[in-house]
Amino acid sequence: MKWVNEDFIWGIMISVLVLTLFIIVSLFSQFPATIYNIIFLLMTIDMVTMLYYISYISRTKLTQGETKEELRVRLNLIELGKKEAEKRYYNRMIGDKIYNKIMQDYEQEDINLRSKLKNLKLRK
């Protein structure tokens, strides 16, 4: 969880605080219905903003080292998948067409991952 920084924690704390204040104000007040609608609209906007912020941060704040490690793990999984497909092919568990299709898919994924890894190394 290296991507969690203080700004992220403060953003979540402020969002939760604002939501709590809206709920408390709406429960203990005698506002007309239009003001309730405005309060619930603000609560909804705050919740959607908070959820979007959490998902955006979790997708984009990986460090370069974590991204490289993730790509290496995926490359290793592709190699294991290739070996498993070869073993099944030689044991006659799958046919030629299926084997060729599986290997083409693995090769394409392998090429994509290696190009991403190369781009990360060039960005140093």
What is the tens place of the pLDDT at every residue in 58-102?
655 555 666 777 888 888 888 888 888 888 888 888 788 888 888
23: containing domain: 6-60
Three-class HEC string of the chain: CCCCCHHHHHHHHHHHHHHHHHHHHHHCCCCCHHHHHHHHHHHHHHHHHHHHHHHHHHHHCCCHHHHHHHHHHHHHHHHHHHHHHHHHHHCCCCCHHHHHHHHHHHHHHHHHHHHHHHHHHHCC
56 with 92, same domain: the answer is no
Count of structural domains within the chain: 2
pLDDT at 114 over 80: yes
pLDDT at 5 over 80: no
Across 111-120, average pLDDT: 84
pLDDT at 123 over 80: no
Q: Is residue 1 part of a domain?
A: no
68 with 54, same domain: the answer is no
93 with 111, same domain: the answer is yes
